[in-house]
Every structure is written in C-alpha cells, then in structure tokens.
Chain A
C-alpha cells in the first residue's frame, strides 16, 4: 500500500481467427501501454468465444481487434454476438488491419467506433481511446 491505486483504462487487444500477422497488434498494444493504458494481449488464434470471455473476465473498457486475413466480416459479427451473450454490452469496440473501405459501413453498423488501417500513426489510436472512454 504505497500510493493509492489509480483508475486505469483497460484495453483488450485480440487477434481472431487463424490470422498470424501479429506485428500490428503488438505495435498497438505497446503504443497504448506507452500512453498509460493497461493492455491485455491475448495472442493469436482466438475464437470469438475466447475473446468475449477474456473481455468479461478482464472487465476491459475497450476491445480492439486486429485482423489482416480478410475474415473480419465473418468473425466480427460472431464476436459481437458472443459479447452480447455474456452481457458485455458497454465496451468501446474498434479494430484495425487490412480492412477494405467498402466494409466500413458494415462494421460501423456492428458497433465498431473506429477502423485504423496500415500506416496509422499510433498516437491517433491512443488519442481515440482517451477520447472515447469515460472514466
């Protein structure tokens, strides 16, 4: 018991499906850590159930999905459904990776608040988190 523990933003960074491209996820995790967040990184090959369960157990404020395989329209709706199943309905959802512009609308309709594509400055990602989480 030294200094009183402060309230921190907790972020889950997850890689759904069989996609092995994990550099972006790690870069984002590190940037958020450097921005003062507590980042739970799940590693690759996560099923929708695993991601939702991790979000529930870790009581995160934000769930960030990283995907470069092209399977987002197949996996993301299932992840959102699994989150709802568990009553995790108040997290901020966002994502990044190789996501064609034409899929933006579909993901927004699912509840994703932002999509960050290759070449994004990680500072913008940190800024997004601080602007969208009310603590």
Chain B
C-alpha cells in the first residue's frame, strides 16, 4: 500500500491507475489513499466540459488536451458516461474520440461510469480528480455525461466550466433553462463547420445580455473540434477566466464553496452509514411498514432512526 503511494509520487502511471480504481470503488484503502495524496493536490487547473449528448464534448476534450500539449502542459482527463439504471453496467466510449492522444506520455485518460450519481458526474468524482491533481498534471479535464438542463454539479467540481452548444439547435436556446447557462464560464459553439454557427453566437450573446449587471460575462468561442479549429482561442479564453478567478479573489471563494459542499456530502454519507449500522434491518423494516400503512409519518420515523446515533 505505501509502496503504491511511493510509486504514485514517483510518477508511475500504473500506480495512478491502481489508486484511481481503489478511490473510485470507495474502499477503505481508497479513502486512505485520498488522505495521503490530498495534500499534494490543489495545483492543477480543473476544467469541466458539459453540454448535450453528441455535442462533441469528447472530441473537444481531446482537441483541447492536444492544444495544451502544444503549449508544453500535461493533462489528465476523466470522462463520465452513464451507468444503466437496470444492470449497473456501462459502455464507456469516450476514448474513441481521443485517439490522437493515445500514446502521448503527457496525457492520461480515464473513463468513469456514473454509478447512479445524478447531475452528470460519478459518486467519487471529487476524490478521483484530487488524485489526478496530486499526480501533477497541469490541467485536469472532466467530461460530464451528456447533460440536459439541470446537470449543474460540474460547476461545484471544476474551476472553469465550459458549456458546449451546437448550431442548428437554435429553437432549444429559447427553452434553455437559465440554470445550465449560468454555470458556464466559457460558452463554446462547436461544429462551427455546420450552418448557423454565427446565428447561434448572436443568440447566445443576446441571452447573456440579460445577465445581471456586474456579473462576469462568459466568453463565446467557435470551434470545429474534429478539425482542431478554434482550440487556441478556447485555451486563451480559459486562461483569461483563470486569471480573473485569481485577480478577483473568486478562486478562494470557489475553493471554499467546493470544500464545504464536499465535506458536507461526505459527512451526510458517513451519518447514513452509521444509522444503517446501528439499526437492525428488522427494526428498519418495522418502521418503514408503519410509514407505508400511514401509522407513522416519515419525519418522525427518520428522527427515530437518527436518534440511534446521536449523543
């Protein structure tokens, strides 16, 4: 175990892989790795890439990583695809679109299944990202599950969030809920080789002009990810956002918010585990039956469970 951490800290990729698996599976061993490696994290710039299914997130992620390689930077990638709610299995196919990076020593790409997490990410994403960060990559790119309207979790994990849009889906713009657009730090119009890219840019501009005054306006960047076009501009826009985060002090606020969110959600999980451990299944079932038959309300039942571990 310590041997693995040592190999990890020496930069051995196989050790990184092994550690991620333990961390992803949330084993006690995995938690211990997070404990040991967390102090080494906090240096990478974490970028989230979200957008509709098929909008080109994987292709763009690969192309952005290639742009960073040109700039002499190293990149870790985590791409999340959905788990089947019925079988818990998954097909993780994001690698298919990142072939050009396959043999580049400065890039590490890992596929993750969502394993029941809502919001477009995976239950242990924060830990996996922290471990990649600790490994020493300059950038960690996170591709979310193809998002609908309210998969905004990514904004709590990434420092810069990129929302990928496509031309020819203009009708959707009107319907696009504020939520997803509000989390974007950079707006990308990908598939700019398709007709209607400029129309979409002006529609997005109009939408952004409705934002409250004083808030930072996200930049809009056109890309054709399949041809690697527009990636220099995208990397520049990300850099500007990063500089703004730092110069405005927002980055400390972000780190604080993310840490709060993470600590509370882990605490919630620990408490739930303790309650489950302190409550024999028969007792839980008896309580549940009383609620089901309307003999007891769910709040009183839950308080009774929680009382078993308080004090």
Contacts and interface: CB of A to CB of B under 8 A. Distances in A.
Interface of A: 1-8, 10, 29-30, 32-43, 49-50, 53-54, 56-59, 86-88
B92 interface: yes
B87 A33 contact: yes
- Sorting the interface of chain B by its residue count into under 10, 10 to 19, 20 to 34 or 35 or more gives 35 or more
Given A1-B266, A59-B17, A33 B99 contact: no
Contacts, number: 104
A8 B99 CA distance: 25
Contacts of A33: 84, 87, 89-91
A57 B110 contact: yes
Contact of B88 (A1, A29, A36): A36
Interface in B205-238: none
Contact of A5 (B26, B92, B99, B111): B26
Contacts of B92: 38-41, 58
A126 B240 CA distance: 49
B96 A1 contact: no
A43 B17 contact: no
Given A2-B116, A39-B90, A43-B93, 18 more contacts: A1-B266, A4-B123, A5-B124, A6-B25, A6-B115, A30-B91, A33-B89, A33-B90, A35-B89, A38-B111, A38-B113, A39-B91, A40-B92, A40-B111, A41-B91, A53-B102, A59-B21, A87-B14
Interface in B12-35: 13-14, 17-18, 20-21, 24-27
Interface centre among B18, B27, B91 (most CB of A within 10 A): B91
Contacts of B90: 33, 38-39
B265 interface: yes
B268 A39 contact: no
29 contacts: A2-B117, A2-B118, A2-B123, A3-B123, A5-B24, A5-B122, A5-B123, A8-B25, A8-B113, A33-B84, A33-B87, A34-B84, A34-B87, A38-B89, A38-B92, A38-B113, A40-B95, A41-B95, A43-B95, A43-B96, A43-B99, A49-B102, A56-B13, A57-B17, A57-B110, A58-B17, A58-B95, A58-B111, A86-B14
Interface of B: 13-14, 17-18, 20-21, 24-27, 83-84, 87-93, 95-96, 99, 102-103, 108-111, 113, 115-118, 122-124, 265-266, 268-269, 273
A29 B265 CA distance: 34
Contact of A42 (B96, B110, B122): B96
A72 to B, nearest CB: 21
Contacts of B118: 2
A3 B273 CA distance: 10
Given A1-B266, A4-B26, A56-B13, A41 B113 contact: no
B123 A1 contact: yes
Contacts of B26: 4-5
Nearest to B15: A87
B201 to A, nearest CB: 32
Nearest to B107: A57
